[in-house]
Structure 1
């Protein structure tokens, strides 16, 4: 029987439209500039201004991407001029662009804060190149449209984060890096196994192609095991219960700038990957797993909230607050629906900004009080009233109290949970908020309100570090007072996840057979 001839010419596509190059520009920019800084590693006086300029340009590019996709829909760039799904696709929608822009702004604030926090020795051994490579991994993860490519960008940010966490070579840092690396390598292995299984089922790793095939024949596909593998892998990377112990054991060991960037960016990439894969690619399996995800969300929230109360080291307490926030995000995944997903996206944006700012605050508090131990802190309200006011704003924001950015997504989540009769999730969100308020009040009482036990001559706070903290705090206050723009964008992002038809059409311009 004669086989049907294949027109190999149709495997190729025409040159992409000029605007589609914008999709891969964030990754290209970060990798190129990171390599350039590594090449001029002896001229470390150039590193800081070049990185700040690069991250500012990255934020502008991401803002242009967000404007483009929010007005005209998702945009795709396929590598090598191959037709999808053969070529590796970068596809950006509102969710990816929104998170990429927020990550760029957080990284820019981190680069400014690092001007006084990162010493010459750490700069010489590659802090700024590692930062740009980290942003290449983060940006690539948010913008890729291919599951294996998502794995690759996870590896890029993982390797970069290893470099950042061990800069300085102190014993505590090596210990933290071992704990950080072990769990992340296990998660990476599970992720790679899941990718292999995914390819065995679908014969493709293009997200749009997979979503299209699942929509047509989901009942005939063995998706439950696959969904559990992805849930376990991304849960480890996001520090969800019961594999959350690595985060507070490692995030307190590097310089405060590195801890701040890790808290603001890394776990959020894990949560994003979970949302992208489970909501968009496997909605049927997620619906079955929703009760399990709900239990994990509750235990993660409570583990983080209670753990923060028990800490006397400020950095460890903040690590537990990061964990509690992951539980809040996962509750939206368990509730399901547009409103809950939008609330989780909103909360993700809030957490990226506020947790970074809280670590910045901890660094400045340590300069004033001489360390991170709450038992020896005190008197900051008298010695630095402005810093105290900023600390109060951030504590109220992370607790989810008005009029700050943490209030609105939590209110949206509680409303969505009650609408779907998930009162137990609503109760857990409120209880977690109360416990975080208690832990925050304890920190404020010990570090700011009570008199200092030992008279310490206050050190002068670095101007640029204070400016970076002020900008992030202002963003939290502004989002609390005027939440509508973020709420609209978060709802648009949730629509794109829940109904990926426009995402699929951006990759396959012709209807799928």
Structure 2
């Protein structure tokens, strides 16, 4: 069953290669994309269940024993993110079938989407820091193409900033890897954890830890390193922004969770305190940005920043409840951000604008779109019984257990600002006086709403079915709390 670990990486990689060979056969590209994502989803579901029943799964590539060879590791944390990531990707691709346009389809949109999924899945499943860098580069190169595909002026402008920031980030990543390798002589995460624990994390390792935090903070969008995100994510079409918002920042967050629970956990009064402060500021900056704009896409993008702060707070708490809350909220946010961007994309298809002041009365002819957006708003703000509520309750509980009363207050206050920001969209765009008549609408929502319905249903399941989901989340949190579980599974000690 260990070969199951590589399937979520291998299937989209094979599909991407095939899609490169048939650039003009769009219908066949769509069929291959659906087959690939269906198989990857099935493999991911089986992987989650196998990890739950049999424990952490590892695959030693080429039969080279770690720490000398490449190893893929699927613990529950990674497996849950793989499953969530592929489901959200599937819905984004289905949305793209009706929205992305023939011009972008002719320029390898589906191929590079599969390459992006390959990189994201690999980043979640690798057990080696150097291969984490490699998979980062795989999905970044795919994202460079996706952010510029279509060649509009705003895309070209923002792509320069996006590429520059990520090139700098990748350079810093290599420097951090070089320093760490020079200190411990290995980059296998389980082996690095052992070596750092034996040395007691001297001051130089703490400095390297902060350097990794900068690298992953740039990828994840933590204050003050989020500056590139609002403009870059606003440039491409909604199907691509949904993919970026749901997946790419989450890989940076995953890397912070993994490294600061497995490797750099010996000096929490320094490292984790810095993470706590940055998380709090990130939440406030994101919430203020969200309420400041009257642009649908911009509001949702700033809500990505807010969520990054909330999720990262789970690392700062560093107890089992905090980790469980952070993981639950991470899964929820991947699902609900995907849903919100796809619903906003359907609104754009109708109106041809993101300006809230130029919309109104959409509920009259598009009730399903309106009520789905309303449900997504409630989930985003953490209103019960939807998915955001469970994660926030666990984070609040974990924060109170560690005495982080100010931060808990900031997080709860930000929930009100988040709710206000998205309800501003809902009330003005759906219930205000009608702006466009039926004849003036720019396009149809045919096929655009149903991918979001799937994600809203998953959000409802995560909330109403919390009793079923929580054992999986708890197992993931338990592995983060006790590094020896991961180390023993990888090194077979």
Shared fold per TM-score greater than 0.5? yes
1:348 to 306, 330, 333: 330
What secondary structure sits across from 2:477 in the alignment?
Answer: helix
Tell me if the contact between 1:55 and 1:104 (Cα under 8 Å) persists in the aligned partners.
yes
Match of residue 191, structure 1, among 173, 176, 194 = 173
Report the counterpart of residue 138 of structure 1 in structure 2. Answer: 120
Partner Cα separation in structure 2 for residue 370 and residue 121 of structure 1: 18
**1:184-231 residue CA offsets vs partner (Å, 9 max, x unmatched):** 222211111111111111111111111222233325573211110011
| CA deviation vs aligned residue, 1:297-356 (integer Å, no higher than 9, x gap) | 111111111101111211111100000000000111111111101110101100100001
1:278 alignment counterpart? 260
Q: Please give the per-residue CA displacement for 1:425-457, whole angstroms capped at 9, x wherever unaligned.
A: 101110110111111221112111111245453
- Measure how far apart 1:135 and its partner are: 0.6
Show the counterpart of 1:464: 447
Q: Contact between 1:239 and 1:323, CA under 8 Å: does it hold in 2?
A: yes
Q: Across the two proteins, how many residue pairs are aligned to each other?
A: 492
1:317 aligns with 2:299: yes
Structure 1 vs Structure 2 CA RMSD? 1.4
Structure 2 counterpart of 1:40: 22
Instruction: Check conservation: 2:349, 2:445, Cα contact below 8 A.
Output: no
SS of alignment partner, residue 459 of structure 2: helix
| 3-state SS of 1:285 partner | coil
1:313, 1:373 within 8 Å by CA — same for their partners in 2? yes
Give the 3-state SS of the residue equivalent to 1:90 in structure 2: strand
- Using the TM superposition, give the Cα deviation of residue 287 of structure 1 relative to its aligned residue in structure 2, in angstroms: 4.3
Distance in 1 between the 2:299 and 2:328 partners? 23
Whether the aligned pair in 2 keeps the contact of 1:395 and 1:440 (CA below 8 Å) is yes
Q: Distance in 2 between matches of 1:388 and 1:411?
A: 27
Aligned to 1:242: 224
> Cα distance, 1:467 vs. partner?
1.5
TM-score by length of 2: 0.97
How far does the alpha carbon of each residue in 1:242-296 deviate from its partner, in whole angstroms, 9 at most, with x for none? 1112111111111110000001000000000011011111111344222211111
Q: Does 1:28 align with 2:10?
A: yes
Which one is further off, 377-386 or 272-281? Answer: 377-386
Deviation at 1:484, TM superposition (A): 2.1
Larger Rg: 1
Q: 1:180 aligns with which of 162, 172, 175?
A: 162
Q: How far off its partner does 1:28 sit?
A: 1.6
Matched residue SS, 1:486: helix
Partner of 2:58: helix, strand, or coil? strand
- Between the aligned partners of 1:94 and 1:145, the Cα distance in structure 2 is 13
Q: Structure 1 regions of 5+ residues with no counterpart? A: 1-18
Cα separation, partners in 2 of 1:221 and 1:201, compared to 1, 3 Å: farther
CA distance, structure 1, for counterparts of residue 412 and residue 222 of structure 2: 19
Counterpart in 2 of 1:478?
A: 461
**What does 1:345-424 correspond to in 2, within 5 Å?**
345-424=327-406
- Kept in 1, the 8 Å contact 2:147–2:155? The answer is yes
Partners of 1:120 and 1:414 in 2: CA distance: 47
Aligned residue for 2:423? 441
1:405-439 deviation per Cα after TM superposition (whole angstroms, max 9, x unaligned): 11111111111111111001101110110111111
Quote the offset at 1:37 in angstroms: 0.8
C-alpha contact (below 8 Å) 2:170/2:215 kept by paired residues? yes
Q: Which secondary structure state, in structure 2, belongs to the residue aligned with residue 367 of structure 1?
A: helix
2:207 corresponds, among 195, 202, 225, to 225
Which consecutive unaligned segments of at least 5 residues does structure 2 have? none
Q: Corresponding residue for 1:506? A: 489
